[in-house]
Structures are given as C-alpha cells and as structure tokens.
Amino acid sequence: MKKDDLVTIKIEDMSAEGSGIGKVDGYTLFVKDAVIGDVVEAKIMKMKKNYGFARLMQIREASPDRVDPRCPIARQCGGCQIQAMAYEAQLKFKERLIENHLRRIGGFEEIPMEPIVGMEEPYRYRNKAQFPIGQDREGNLIAGFYAGRTHSIISVDDCLLGVEENKEILQEVLDFMKEEGISAYDENTGKGLVRHVLIRYGFFTQEIMVCVVINGKKLPRAQKLVEQLRKIRGMTSITVNINEERTNVILGECVELLWGQRYITDTIGGISYQISPLSFYQVNPRQTEKLYRLALEYAGLTGKETVWDLYCGIGTISLFLAQKAKQVYGVEIVPDAVKDAKNNAKRNGIENAEFYVGKAEEVLPEKYEKEGVKADVIVVDPPRKGCDERLLDTIVKMQPEKVVYVSCDSATLARDLKWLCERGYEVKRVRGVDQFGQTVHVETVALLSKKA
C-alpha cells in the first residue's frame, strides 16, 4: 500500500477522537467519519510505520448503527465527531472508551462500571456558544465554527447543539455590522474589529447573555445593536469583551457593560449561580445536575464530614456538597471564579463553604504541611491534563476515607487512579455521564476508598 491508494476496510473499532479503525492486510488505518460496522472505501492520505490515516470516500455497506446526521455540515465542522452514529451506540462507545482506558492505562482488571447516564434529548443542550466572525471568499460577513483542525470558518446559522435563540442573535449582529460597515477580525493580518460573539443561556431562568468580543477599545454605534438585541425575549446582559492580542484565546480580561446586568443567573439542583462572560460553567446544565448528584451520592455524606473540593471553579460542586457536609473548602486558580464562588454561596445562604485562590497542587500541600488540615472526603474535578503528582501525594498523606474523582478525560483519570491505588486506595464505583451528545467527549465519576 502507498499514499493515495483506494482500499476497502471493515471498521472494527473507533478511536478516542471518533475516527473509525480498521485493518488492511494487518495494517491499521484511521478513517474519520466512519462508524463501527461500516464497510467503506477510503483513500490513504498519510502513512506511518504501524498505522496510517485515510479519508472516507464511499460507504459500501452501512453499519446498523449509522444514521443520517441532522446537521448538513456535520462532516466539515469540527464540533460533532460522531453525529452519524445512533445515540444508543454513542453511549456504548463512550462506556467502552472509559473501560478501555482503565484497563490499558490504569492496569485495572476488575472494573466496577455502572451504566452510563445518557440524555433524554442529545440535541439543543448547550447553554454556551462562541461563534467566530469572519468573511467568506466573496467577502460576505459570516458567523460559524472552525472546520476540524483548522481556523477556517464554516458558516453556521443554527448549530443543533445550541439553543434556537442563537440564530436570531447572530443574524442581528451580522445585520448590524453590515449596516454600519463594521469589519470582522482577520487572524492572518490581526486587523478588523469583531472577533467572536459569545452567547450564554440560562436553561432554568431563560435569561440570555450576549458578549461581543472586539479587537479594539470600543464598538462603534453600539447602542443601535443594543436596541435590536433588547427586543429578544429573555435578553438580560449585553457586554463587549476587549481582546487586542494576536492570540487564539477567545476572551480578553476586560468586559464592559453595554446594557442590563453583567451576569445572568441559572440554577442546578436548586442552587442558584451567577454567570459572567468569563465564568466557567458547565455547558449542559441538565446533565450537570445528574453528574453532581452522582458525585454527591458517591461521597456518601452524612453531615459530619469535612470536604475539600479541588479545581472548584465558581463553586458548582462545592455548594452542592455543602448541603450535606459539615464543612466544604474549595480551591480554584482563577481569582474571578473564586469571587463568583463566594458570591454564589452568599446568594444561596450557604455558610459552610470557604474558598481559596491558588493552584490545587500548591494550596492543599501547604495547608496540610503548615496547618495540618484534614479531610474525610476529597473531591477533584481537574482539567483535561488530570491531577498534578504533588497533589495526589498530598491526598495520600491526608488519608481521606473517600476520594471522588470527576474527570473530563478518562485517559488521565486512569493514570491518576492507578497512582492512588498503588498507594492504599481501591476503586469502588465508576460511571460515565454523557454531557456532550454527538461528540466523543464524556465525563466520568469514580469513587475510591481507603483499603481496609
């Protein structure tokens, strides 16, 4: 075989990135957009010693799990990797992905897996969308998403994962820019004004936030845009975010209010949260409530426990736990998030939660070594890279009865669970929660207990 050859492949498995995996004469090929059970014709694009990559050219025999994607640009857009797979099959894939990581990376043989928690409706679930603004080849203003692995914008006026209100908001912004002659930002030149439109939606309050990200100090004739956006039902907050850096980072640090409030509110499990343009807040609130209830169930709190919640963000899990714990301490590196967490505790009348600014891998060891703090339960919800080894070492030294690990990457979860289980802990329960239908991403909750 060589590059540009056409081959026929039976897809036997899928990668963590959502590509179909098959073999030709023992040689492994990864085929984007192929589904387990497909027989496809593919063109070899790139070859390495033990594996290669191929482009799907034709489906010879469709998998029983293949469905027609509801989105017409699902293959071009980088957002939905597995929309061509039936939802029940998506759940099985994600459950198997977690289990495979625990076996292959963690070295676990007996895994106490529980059935994955799926969604009632795996579309229209995102409460946040960030649309880059640009131009097409004819120079027309467009909003959309980046094509997979690129920074080329594909025009999308209605993403099926987002709320329906997004479409009307985007149209108002684009119409305003056309009428007022306001330019879109060009990543290649660093010129142009409007970079992104950030939209947040409160699923339980129906409050809407619009934040226009600009490459400049001011949005000209902004009040005209405000007057149009205010007509949309639920509009609560209209802001601009100033980002003049030549960077791929979407938001700058400065937010200026154009109209309404600086935040919207939403609730998860009866706890009310303030959400600003810069706040981290789970994008799927309905599934987040299930995720947090599961973490709370795994923690098994009786009202007597001291709990440390590490990587606590704006206090979402902390405040959930505080309802059942004696005392909760949250740690988060982002100062604004800690400020939000303290405000959220206050607005909900929760007095048994305290928050610290700093890196979890620095704050907890320092508190333990200098103040001798203790914990009955430690909850971690780290970023994709997982926990720092110094933090894991401190957890082992503190000897909590239980560790509840909430993970957005089951590969780093498996690595960290292995580390803890080699030092006196054992995995008692593991369960996936699908927060991101049509994509390969999945959350996992694991319960570890001290070995007797």
Instruction: Supply the residues annotated as catalytic.
Output: 408
Beta strands in 263-376 (DSSP E): 264-268, 271-275, 306-310, 327-332, 353-357
CA 370 to chain CA mean position, Å: 35
- Report the alpha-carbon distance of residue 429 to residue 112 in Å, rounded: 5
- Report the alpha-carbon distance of residue 252 to residue 217 in Å, rounded: 11
Please list, in sequence order, all residues whose beta carbon lies within 8 angstroms of the beta carbon of residue 38, skipping any fewer than 6 positions away. 10, 11, 20, 59, 61, 62, 63, 66
In 3-state terms, what secondary structure has residue 55? strand
| β-sheet with 254-260: strand ranges across | 153-155, 141-146, 128-135, 194-201, 208-214, 235-242, 254-260
- Report the alpha-carbon distance of residue 119 to residue 125 in Å, rounded: 9
- Give the N- to C-terminal CA distance of the chain in Å, as an integer: 56
CA triplet 147, 152, 21: central angle to 5 degrees? Answer: 30
> Cα-flanking dihedrals φ and ψ of residue 91, to 5°?
-65, -40
Radius of gyration of the chain from its Cα atoms, rounded to whole angstroms: 24
Question: Taking Cα atoms as reference points, which of 399, 423, 424, 427 lies closest to residue 413?
Answer: 427
- Report the alpha-carbon distance of residue 228 to residue 225 in Å, rounded: 5
Instruction: Tell me the two tokens of residue 302.
Output: 């009786």
- H-type helices in 105-218, by residue range? 165-180
Question: Taking Cα atoms as reference points, which of 148, 154, 156, 213 lies closest to residue 184?
Answer: 213
- Report the alpha-carbon distance of residue 192 to residue 244 in Å, rounded: 10
CA triplet 194, 166, 221: central angle to 5 degrees? Answer: 35
Half-sphere exposure of 450 (CA within 13 A, CB side): 13
